[in-house]
């Protein structure tokens, strides 16, 4: 066994990239699925990544998440501390996930083949589906409610079930249309949405400045009884986790957008763009937090834990001139969130189900999400559904991200983009075939850490895992799953080395490797040249 190569490895990037081709028209439906984006078509920049990631969160639905600290009973300053903790921690966890797109020219679920196996990449697809359904639903719920509420105040529209159904359906249809056209049209929407939504939030600061009181005390005051006081830390951590779920939710999607960035773009700029895009979301988060504290003071019935209604409360405290900006904010911001959530999942499921084109897969996932929206809105508790679902997403997604990032680090950022596409081409074999298409090292680290996270989850009044009370009611699921995923994955790589062929010219970092034959790529479109994979040293010399 050896951790250093005896032969130079082939580069994962072409030595002579093609010159960029003219960008396609905005109204031209994107043809690419999750196949590697040709170098000539990769003309996006880290700034474009910033626009898409920030635009997808600089929205009304993020304001709703920002209101949760107040709904959990925290004061404004306690809520601000929970928000800062959630945003910064989430941004630090998320930002390294941006590098896979430029390196491999494909989305993050496909890139995960390198660490979970050709078949194990479906884990990323499943996680992206859950995330897309959750955040597409949040955007349609919040934006639809704001549009109906604003129309009621402006034009006297009846706030009945039919009004909400029509608003949800129309809004969801607009989002689906943008996703069908693809990346360029989505980028165009976000170029408009980011500055527009920011201006509307700043107008909101003017609208509510007179009513805002940072001394809002919440329920955890000195006069609160012991039972209430005992819920402070569970509520604080729970609020921080709800906030953290927003940046973490982008983990499965960053590659959808960064794959259009040239492979030669500086990694620090790509990572920096992803990090700053989440720090910038403090604008909508603090807007939601501040307005929720005003609602709790002036119209507390709208933050009643039994039936909270942030959107209704916001409209109740808004001056008349701000009704129209609220409607515009709901429309523009909701479009940005909905498209960034839905686009990537439709893209990925077109590869999981090969009979579906990218457009068909997008429409299918959109239809399922719309069904979930109506069930959640009219049949379930909205706030509990959002908070529970969001916590479950980060509990399952974060260990997957840890495996990806540690895998990138141990392999020194080297990948074979062609071998990543084996699953999509319905082939077998290649560097990332491992054991029948599964890399049990990465898979084991993921599911064990995710399971432990679920067992230790503690969302007061909603979901408490079997071991959730062991930390005095504090939810320690996230830090525990992070540590378990990292420690277990590195231990498995040391104890059960991966094939030398999956590492680049500089060899492995920290872990060992083993020289074993790699099965040739066989199946549709495979060439005879792939037989050289059975001799890894021959392929490395190529």
How do beta strands 458-459 and 463-464 pair? antiparallel
- Please say whether the beta carbons of 62 and 281 come within 8 A: yes
Question: What pLDDT does residue 355 have?
Answer: 72
Distance CA 37, CA 44 (A): 12
Question: What pLDDT does residue 240 have?
Answer: 92
Render each residue's pLDDT in the chain as its tens digit; 542 residues.
444 443 334 444 444 444 544 555 544 555 556 778 888 889 899 999 998 889 878 887 788 889 999 999 999 999 999 999 999 999 999 999 999 999 999 989 999 999 999 999 999 888 888 887 777 777 787 778 888 888 888 788 888 888 888 888 888 887 777 777 666 666 777 677 778 888 889 999 999 999 999 999 999 998 889 888 888 988 898 899 889 988 998 888 888 889 999 999 999 999 999 999 999 999 999 999 999 999 999 999 888 776 677 888 888 899 988 988 888 887 777 777 677 667 766 766 766 776 777 777 778 877 877 777 777 666 666 666 666 777 788 889 999 999 999 999 999 999 999 999 998 888 999 999 999 999 999 999 999 999 999 999 887 667 788 998 888 778 889 899 999 999 999 999 999 999 999 998 999 999 999 999 989 999 887 764 444 444 443 343 33
Q: Which of 50, 414, 91, 48 is nearest to 260 (CA)?
A: 48
The torsion of the CA quartet 419, 98, 366, 174, rounded to 10 degrees, works out to -130
Q: Which residue has the tokens 């993921």?
A: 446
DSSP category for residue 11: P
Phi, psi of 272 (to 5 degrees): -65, -40
Question: What pLDDT does residue 351 have?
Answer: 65
Q: State how far the alpha carbon of 399 is from the alpha carbons of 131, 134, 539, in Å.
A: 15, 19, 32
User: Three-state DSSP class for 455?
Assistant: helix
Q: What angle do CA 520, 125, 52 make, to 5 degrees?
A: 115
Question: What pLDDT does residue 250 have?
Answer: 87
Q: Which of 171, 140, 159, 179 is nearest to 59 (CA)?
A: 140
**Tokens describing residue 451:** 């399971």
**Tokens describing residue 513:** 């490797």
Q: Which of 242, 284, 384, 239 is nearest to 63 (CA)?
A: 284
Q: Residues near 71 by Cβ (< 8 Å), separated by ≥ 6?
A: 292, 303, 305, 308, 310, 383
Phi, psi of 6 (to 5 degrees): -95, -15
Distance CA 106, CA 109 (A): 8
- Please say whether the beta carbons of 489 and 410 come within 8 A: no
Q: Which residue has the tokens 């709800």?
A: 242
Q: State how far the alpha carbon of 12 is from the alpha carbons of 19, 26, 374, 439, 515, in Å.
A: 18, 31, 45, 20, 20
Question: What pLDDT does residue 246 have?
Answer: 87
Distance CA 477, CA 450 (A): 9
Q: What's 315-364 look like in SS3?
A: HHHCCHHHHHHHHHHHHHHHHHHHHHHHHHHHHHHHHHCCCCCHHHHHHH
Question: What pLDDT does residue 316 have?
Answer: 87
- Please say whether the beta carbons of 391 and 241 come within 8 A: yes
Distance CA 168, CA 146 (A): 11
- Please say whether the beta carbons of 268 and 511 come within 8 A: no
Question: What pLDDT does residue 22 have?
Answer: 53
Q: State how far the alpha carbon of 29 is from the alpha carbons of 33, 175, 181, 359, 500, in Å.
A: 11, 15, 4, 9, 41
- 438 forms beta bridges with 435
- 459 forms beta bridges with 463
Question: What pLDDT does residue 82 have?
Answer: 97
């Amino acid at each position: 066994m050896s951790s250093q190569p005896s032969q130079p490895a082939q580069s994962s990037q072409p030595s002579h990239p093609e010159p960029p081709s003219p960008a396609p028209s905005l109204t031209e439906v994107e043809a690419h699925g999750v196949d590697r984006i040709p170098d000539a078509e990769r003309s996006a920049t880290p700034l474009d990544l910033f626009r898409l990631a920030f635009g997808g969160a600089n929205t009304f639905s993020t304001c709703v998440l920002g209101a949760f600290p107040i709904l959990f009973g925290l004061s404004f300053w306690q809520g601000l501390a929970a928000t800062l903790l959630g945003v910064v921690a989430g941004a630090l966890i998320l930002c390294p996930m941006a590098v896979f797109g430029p390196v491999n020219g494909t989305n993050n679920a496909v890139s995960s083949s390198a660490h979970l196996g050709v078949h194990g990449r479906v884990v990323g697809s499943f996680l992206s589906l859950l995330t897309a359904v959750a955040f597409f639903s949040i955007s349609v719920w919040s934006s639809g409610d704001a549009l109906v509420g604003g129309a009621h105040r402006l034009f006297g529209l009846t706030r009945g079930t039919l009004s909400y159904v029509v608003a949800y359906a129309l809004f969801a249809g607009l989002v689906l249309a943008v996703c069908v056209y693809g990346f360029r049209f989505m980028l165009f929407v976000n170029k408009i949405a980011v500055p527009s939504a920011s201006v509307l939030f700043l107008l909101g600061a003017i609208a509510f400045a007179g009513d805002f009181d940072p001394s809002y005390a919440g329920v955890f005051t000195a006069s609160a009884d012991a039972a209430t006081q005992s819920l402070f830390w569970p509520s604080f951590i729970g609020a921080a986790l709800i906030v953290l779920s927003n940046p973490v939710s982008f983990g499965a999607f960053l590659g959808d957008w960064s794959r259009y960035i040239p492979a030669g773009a500086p990694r620090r700029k790509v990572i920096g763009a992803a990090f700053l895009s989440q720090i910038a979301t403090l604008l909508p988060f603090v807007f939601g937090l501040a307005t929720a504290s005003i609602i709790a003071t002036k119209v507390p019935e709208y933050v009643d834990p039994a039936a909270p209604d942030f959107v209704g409360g916001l409209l109740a405290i808004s001056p008349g001139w701000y009704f129209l900006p609220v409607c515009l904010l709901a429309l523009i911001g909701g479009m940005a969130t909905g498209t960034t959530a839905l686009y990537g999942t439709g893209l990925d499921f077109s590869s999981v189900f090969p009979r579906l084109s990218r457009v068909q897969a997008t429409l299918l996932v959109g239809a399922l999400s719309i069904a979930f929206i109506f069930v959640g809105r009219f049949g379930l508790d909205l706030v509990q559904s959002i908070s529970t679902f969001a916590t479950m997403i980060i509990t399952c997604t974060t260990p997957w991200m840890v495996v990806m990032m540690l895998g990138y680090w141990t392999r020194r950022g080297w990948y074979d983009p062609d071998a990543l596409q084996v699953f999509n081409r319905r082939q077998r074999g290649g560097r990332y075939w491992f054991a029948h298409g599964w890399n049990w090292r990465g898979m084991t680290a993921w599911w064990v850490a995710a399971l432990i996270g679920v067992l230790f989850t503690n969302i007061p009044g909603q979901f408490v895992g079997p071991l959730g009370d062991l930390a005095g009611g504090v939810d320690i699921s996230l830090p525990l799953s992070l540590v378990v995923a990292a420690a277990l994955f590195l231990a498995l790589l040391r104890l059960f080395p991966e094939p030398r062929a999956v590492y680049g010219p500089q060899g492995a970092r920290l872990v060992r490797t083993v020289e074993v034959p790699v099965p040739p790529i066989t199946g549709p479109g495979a060439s005879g040249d792939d037989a050289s994979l059975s001799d890894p040293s021959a392929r490395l010399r190529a």
